[in-house]
Amino acid sequence: MFADICFDDRPSFLDKYGKSYRFVELRGQKVFCWDVMQDMSGSCKSKLINIPLSNVTVASLHDLGLWDNISEIQQKRLTSNIELNTSIDTHKKREKRSTEYDYLPRKITCIRCSDEKYIAPCVLIKQAGLEGLEGDAEQKQLEKFLSEYRCSTCSPKSRGRKANPLYANIPRTAKCKCGKECTMNVKKLYTDYNGDMTLIQKYCDEYLCRSCNPNTGSWLRGNGGKGGRGRKANPDNEGIPNKVTCIECKREVGITPTNIRLKAKKLGITVESLLSDYHCRKCGGMLKKS
């Protein structure tokens, strides 16, 4: 035929699906070949394509003289993909099973304690970094992994989230002059001082705990550290009592220092004058809004 004349110098071979091609050359894991399409009239069309090496039958590779040019690990992979006929039981027929990963070991040995551990092929491929590798590159990577493998007992891995490298040099604790060791918020320190280690270290060296710092939390402790809770007093209300006696009914009335200051301001008098002539609401001391 016309195709045989045109491609006489190109040997034909079959893939595992039974389709015929004309061989050109082998490049890595790809087989370049001519795909010849011939119709009933005798005319033909051809297209240069490449197919995976795994799609070519082992017999075709031997006929093309390519078998010896393939790495040993790839040969094992190709031969393991051949589906073998299984025996037929009288009650049921066993399904054919692919043995794609037969070339991978199922047990690996720790180089330190010599302990053997079973490992699934999919786990081995991920741990050894074999994903995307083929041929000699895959073989070298596998051998390197096996020669350096250490079990989890000999080489335990750290657990949990990794620390932020920005906070690596910031002290985690600071010691007060009283001897108390306090935990530092490293993220807040880094933000407050823009990562300046000189200022951060100075802050930690001069750190005072809440009990020793006169400017932090002293208003919560009250006078002399005895009692007293709540919000810090307004300095403008200093000296104004919390209770006052009505000059008409002589009844003691609770007052709010801030309200007394505002009331005195509206009346245009001093706080002392208002307190000395204080009238409760029952005695006509209410300040009208008008």
Task: List the single range of 39-53, 211-225, 259-273 with lowest mean pLDDT.
Answer: 211-225
pLDDT value, residue 201 = 92
The DSSP bridge pattern shows strands 181-183 and 243-245 to be unpaired
Q: Kindly tell me if the per-residue pLDDT of 41 is higher than 80.
A: no
Q: Are 119 and 107 in contact (CB under 8 A)?
A: yes
Matching residue, tokens 């690990």? 73
Q: Of 20-29, 62-71, 152-161, 186-195, which has the strongest mean pLDDT?
A: 186-195
pLDDT value, residue 88 = 40
The DSSP bridge pattern shows strands 181-183 and 173-175 to be antiparallel
Please state, in angstroms and as integers, the Cα–Cα distance from residue 137 to each residue in 29, 81, 104, 172, 213, following that order. Answer: 12, 20, 14, 46, 65
Q: Kindly tell me if the per-residue pLDDT of 35 is higher than 70.
A: yes
Q: In this predicted model, which residue has the larger pLDDT, 234 or 230?
A: 234
Specify the DSSP class assigned to residue 101: T
How many other CB atoms are there within 10 angstroms of residue 247's CB atom?
A: 14
* Phi, then psi, of 191 in degrees rounded to 5: -70, -45
Matching residue, tokens 């790839």? 74
CA proximity to 145, closest of 135, 158, 130, 155:
130
3-state secondary structure 22-66: EEEEEECCEEEEEEEEECCCCCEEEEEEEEEHHHECHHHHHHHCC
Q: Kindly tell me if the per-residue pLDDT of 251 is higher than 70.
A: yes
Q: In this predicted model, which residue has the larger pLDDT, 119 or 286?
A: 119
Q: Kindly tell me if the per-residue pLDDT of 153 is higher than 80.
A: yes
Q: Give residue 47's pLDDT band: very low, low, confident or very high (50, 70, 90).
A: confident
What number is the average pLDDT over the span 161-183?
89
pLDDT value, residue 280 = 86
Q: 206: which 2 tokens?
A: 């001069």
Q: Give residue 184's pLDDT band: very low, low, confident or very high (50, 70, 90).
A: very high
Q: Kindly tell me if the per-residue pLDDT of 2 is higher than 60.
A: no
Rounded Cα–Cα distance for residues 70 and 23 (Å) = 16
Q: Kindly tell me if the per-residue pLDDT of 97 is higher than 50.
A: no
Matching residue, tokens 């705990």? 209
Whether this model's pTM surpasses 0.85: no
Mean pLDDT of all residues belonging to the chain: 80
Q: Of 84-88, 98-102, 220-224, 275-279, which has the strongest mean pLDDT?
A: 275-279
3-state secondary structure 227-278: CCCCCCCCHHHCCCCCEEECCCCCCEEECCHHHHHHHHHHHCCCHHHHHHCC
Distance of CA 238 to the CA centre of its chain: 55
What number is the average pLDDT over the span 47-63?
85
What number is the average pLDDT over the span 150-177?
86
Percent of the chain whose predicted confidence (pLDDT) is above 70:
81
